[in-house]
């Protein structure tokens, strides 16, 4: 297993490093920006610039985004961050489709290696990558606060940051499970990965549109992003445990279906 | 046979890809220590059979066993007995040849004797420099040699090779033949290889099986095939010869000139020689058996089937 993990990580090292740098740097930048807005006392103008549909849809919580605390926390649920985490998770869990397409599965599974081990390897790598990304994001916020002398400002508490990152990790795990399921049915990596990534984008849009469009609210229940209620976490009234349980539960169902399918299919 | 399990056995092995036959009711036995050549046109079902043996494909029905171990039910145990070279060798382009072999050898922890590995490197002329180069920078032939080595390095009792000499230069083809001959002499390893190079199969294999449209159409030792094959006999006369008394069974007179007859003969030559007694025979030339001549008609007949035009039979 260690060999398989190391090989996959080595193959994806540039993507991993790139994603980590991006997510870490993003937190630095957003803390710097929040500090700048705070220093120039421009949060009032930020509130004025907020689209009306967001204000209507999110209610008073929308105003959290126009605070130093909310802006820094936004770095943990910005669309770019959410999609990078989801896509990174699926990049790893769709690897079995790449192994089938390239024929590498012939070499690996002509040896006494259980089929399930390839999936377990991908799940582990995906989880480790997302967890590392989350940890680096947390570290990015701390470094940003130090670099921009924002320590005395109203940073989100450690508990809020931890809950946001835990929820983001759960979103990544859910998408990881979904990617694994797609890969277990595919012969082509590009098909599997593109399908999974596009699904993530569509589901993000569905959840976003549901803020201001009532008809979308039913469909939004299907989106993992629906179970990442960041503003409620910042406000301190979110059922984080329930949302995380739903996300892990869905991811586990996807993963179980993937194991079942991969164990029976032609490779 | 002494009751020991066949090294490779398939019973009614069948694989359908939707309406198309991959293989159908394939039953074959390969004895332990045997070198078995598996022949067939492109798409005839060779690779499907091989991938069923290593459990990369799941059969529609029937079963395959390696040394008595079911390839599907007890897949891990069966695969532990196999060394496999795929038809298109997949590589990790960023790995060196040495790292590639280490990676593959540690996947299932089968011990690899360093002395054996060195012998393989020497035999296939894979130098230290070659082993340190990344696979993406290696020639096709070098990759194929590395592929053969990875299949043989753990000294498995059953080696399954899908077109092993594709891309090898003549010297390396000879090295491969020598390796197979050595394995045969040692008697511990069964080699199952698919190939299009008939001369190679003829030289190396104890037995061959010919597959067409997913079904075995003929199987036997080279000697069996020789006996079964039609040989061309050219008889030259020193003076004009009248047509002989009825030709023996198995003989077909193709051309009967004044001074030369051409006869296609199937079976032993004795009766023909007897029939020629009393005729002014100056010379008799029997064209040597060539596997190509024997196999070619099967390939031609199988062309349609091999293009996937064969539908599933109603069962």
What is the model's pLDDT at position A173? 96
The answer to whether residue B302 scores a pLDDT higher than 60 is: no
Output the pLDDT for position B307: 43
**Interface membership of A264 toward B (CB under 8 Å):** yes
B150 CB neighbours in chain A (<8 A) are 107
Unique residue bearing structure tokens 């710097």: A32
Q: State how far Cα A243 lies from the chain centre.
A: 14
Helix H, strand E, coil C: the string for chain B is CCCCCCCEEEEEEEEEECCEEEEEEEEEEECCCCEEEEECCCCCCHHHHHHHHCCCCCCCEEEEEECCEECCCCHHHHHCCEEEECCCCCCCCCCEHHHHHHHHHHHCCCCCCHHHHHHHHHHCCCCHHHHHCEHHHCCHHHHHHHHHHHHHCCCCCEEEEECCCCCCCHHHHHHHHHHHHHHHHHCCCEEEEECCCHHHHHHHCCEEEEEECCEEEEEEEHHHHHHHCEEEEEEEECCCCCCCCCCCCCEEEEEECCCEEEEEEECCCHHHHHHHCCCCEEEEEECCCCHHHHHHHHHHHCHHHHHHHCECCCC
Q: What is the mean pLDDT of residues B233-239?
A: 88
Please indicate whether, in this complex, the C-beta atoms of B56 and A106 are within 8 angstroms of each other.
yes
C-alpha distances in Å from residue A93, one per residue of A89, A169, A236, A254, A262: 6, 15, 33, 11, 13
Summarize pLDDT for B27-70 with one digit per residue, the tens: 999 999 999 999 888 888 999 999 999 999 999 999 999 999 99
The Cα–Cα gap between A240 and B145 comes to 56
A11 to chain B, any CB pair closer than 8 A? The answer is yes
Q: Which of residues 113-172 of B touch A (CB under 8 A)?
A: 150
Q: Is B243 exposed, middle or buried (0-12, 13-18, 19+ CB in 10 A)?
A: exposed
Confidence tier at B244 by pLDDT (50, 70, 90):
low
Three-state SS sequence of B146-190: HHHHHHHCCCCCEEEEECCCCCCCHHHHHHHHHHHHHHHHHCCCE
A104 at B interface, C-beta within 8 A = yes
Q: Answer whether B54 sits within 8 Å of A108, measured CB to CB.
A: no
How many Å lie between the alpha carbon of B221 and the closest alpha carbon of chain A? 28
In this predicted structure, what is the pLDDT of residue A160? 92
**In B, which residues are within 8 Å of A106 by CB distance?**
51, 54, 56, 84, 86, 90
pTM summary value: 0.82
What per-residue confidence (pLDDT) applies to B309?
Answer: 41
Residue with tokens 């959290």: A64
The pLDDT value recorded for residue B315 is: 40
- Least confident range of A68-77, B91-100, B265-274, B296-305: B296-305
Question: Which residues pair with residue B211 across a beta bridge?
Answer: B216
Q: Quick check: A152 contacting B, CB < 8 Å? A: no
Q: According to the model, what pLDDT value does residue A151 have?
A: 64
Ramachandran sector of residue B250 (left: φ over 0; alpha: ψ -120 to 50; beta: rest) = left
**Is A109 in contact with B104 (Cβ distance < 8 A)?**
no
B94 contact residues in A (CB cutoff 8 A): 10-11
Q: Give the integer Cα–Cα distance in Å for A232 and A227.
A: 11
Nearest-angstrom CA–CA distance, B231 and B266? 6
Are B86 and A266 within 8 A, CB to CB? no
Distance CA B120, CA B130 (A): 13
Q: Are B280 and B237 in contact (CB under 8 A)?
A: yes
CA–CA distance, A58 with A70 (Å, rounded to integer):
13
* A102 Cα to chain B: minimum distance (Å): 6
The two tokens of residue A108 are 């690996």
Chain A within 8 Å of B110 (Cβ-Cβ)?
Answer: yes
The pLDDT tens digits along chain A (267 residues) read: 888 889 998 988 999 999 999 999 999 999 988 888 888 887 777 777 777 777 777 777 777 777 888 889 999 999 999 999 999 999 999 999 999 999 999 999 999 999 999 999 999 999 999 999 999 999 999 998 888 876 677 888 899 999 999 999 999 999 999 999 999 999 999 999 999 999 999 999 999 888 878 888 888 899 999 999 888 898 888 777 899 999 999 999 999 999 999 999 999
Give how far A114 is from chain B: nearest CA, Å.
Answer: 7
Q: Is the pLDDT of residue B151 over 50?
A: yes
Q: Contact A266/B57, CB-based, under 8 Å? A: yes
Instruction: Flag whether residue B297 sits within 8 Å of chain A, measured between CB atoms.
Output: no
Cross-chain Cβ contact A4/B107 below 8 Å:
yes
Find where tokens 């190391």 sit. Answer: A6
CA distances from A46 to A32, A61, A68, A76, A182 (A): 16, 14, 11, 19, 41
**Is A103–B76 a contact, with Cβ atoms under 8 angstroms apart?**
no
Of A10, A113, A266, the CB nearest to B107: A113
Are B90 and A104 in contact (CB < 8 Å)? Answer: yes
Which residue out of A7, A111, A264, A266 would a mutagenesis test of the B interface target, given it has the greatest number of B Cβ atoms within 10 Å?
A111
């Amino acid at each position: 297993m260690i060999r398989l993990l190391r090989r996959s990580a080595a193959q994806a090292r540039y993507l991993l490093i790139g994603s980590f740098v991006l997510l870490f740097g993003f937190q630095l930048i957003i803390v710097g920006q929040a500090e700048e807005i705070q220093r120039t006392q421009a949060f009032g103008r930020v509130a004025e610039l907020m689209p009306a549909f967001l204000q209507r849809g999110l209610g008073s919580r929308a105003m959290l985004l126009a605070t130093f605390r909310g802006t820094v926390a936004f770095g943990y649920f910005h669309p770019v961050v959410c999609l990078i985490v989801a896509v990174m998770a699926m990049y790893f869990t769709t690897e079995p489709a790449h192994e089938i397409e390239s024929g590498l599965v012939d070499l690996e599974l002509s040896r006494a290696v259980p089929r399930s081990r390839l999936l377990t390897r991908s799940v582990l790598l995906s989880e480790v990558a997302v967890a590392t990304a989350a940890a680096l994001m947390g570290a990015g916020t701390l470094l940003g606060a130090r670099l921009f002398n924002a320590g005395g400002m109203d940073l989100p508490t450690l508990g809020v940051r931890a809950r946001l990152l835990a929820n983001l990790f759960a979103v990544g795990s859910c998408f990881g499970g979904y990617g694994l399921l797609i890969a277990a049915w595919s012969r082509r990596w590009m098909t599997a990965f593109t399908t999974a990534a596009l699904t993530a984008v569509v589901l993000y849009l569905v959840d976003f549109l549901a803020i201001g469009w009532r008809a979308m609210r039913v469909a939004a229940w299907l989106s993992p992003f629906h179970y990442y209620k960041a503003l409620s976490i910042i406000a301190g009234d979110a059922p984080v445990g329930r949302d995380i349980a739903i996300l892990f539960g869905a991811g586990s169902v996807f993963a179980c279906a993937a194991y079942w399918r991969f164990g029976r299919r032609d490779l | 046979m002494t009751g020991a399990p066949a090294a490779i056995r398939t019973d009614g092995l069948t694989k359908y890809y939707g309406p198309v036959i991959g293989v159908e009711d394939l039953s074959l036995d390969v004895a332990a220590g045997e070198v078995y050549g598996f022949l067939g046109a492109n798409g005839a079902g060779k690779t499907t059979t091989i991938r069923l043996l290593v459990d990369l494909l799941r059969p529609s029905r029937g079963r395959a066993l390696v040394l008595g171990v079911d390839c599907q039910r007890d897949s891990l145990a069966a695969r532990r007995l196999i060394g496999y070279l795929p038809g298109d060798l997949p590589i990790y382009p960023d790995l060196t040849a040495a790292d590639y072999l280490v990676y593959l050898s540690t996947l299932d922890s089968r011990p690899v004797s360093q002395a054996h590995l060195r012998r393989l490197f020497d035999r296939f002329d894979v130098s230290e420099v070659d082993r340190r180069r990344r696979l993406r920078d290696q020639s096709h032939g070098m990759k194929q040699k590395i592929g053969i080595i990875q299949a043989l390095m753990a000294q498995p009792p059953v080696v399954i090779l899908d077109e092993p000499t594709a891309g090898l230069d003549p010297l390396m083809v000879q090295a491969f033949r020598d390796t197979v001959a050595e394995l045969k002499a040692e008697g511990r390893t069964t080699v199952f290889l698919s190939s299009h190079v008939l001369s190679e199969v003829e030289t190396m294999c104890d037995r061959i099986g010919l597959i067409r449209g997913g079904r075995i159409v003929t199987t036997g030792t080279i000697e069996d095939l020789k006996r079964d094959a039609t040989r061309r006999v050219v008889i030259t006369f020193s003076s004009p010869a009248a047509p002989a008394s009825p030709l023996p069974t198995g003989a077909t007179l193709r051309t009967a000139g004044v001074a030369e007859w051409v006869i296609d003969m199937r079976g032993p030559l004795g009766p023909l020689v007897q029939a020629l007694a009393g005729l002014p025979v100056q010379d008799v030339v029997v064209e040597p058996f060539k596997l190509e001549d024997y196999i070619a008609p099967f390939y031609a007949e199988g062309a349609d089937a091999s293009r996937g035009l064969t539908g599933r039979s109603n069962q």
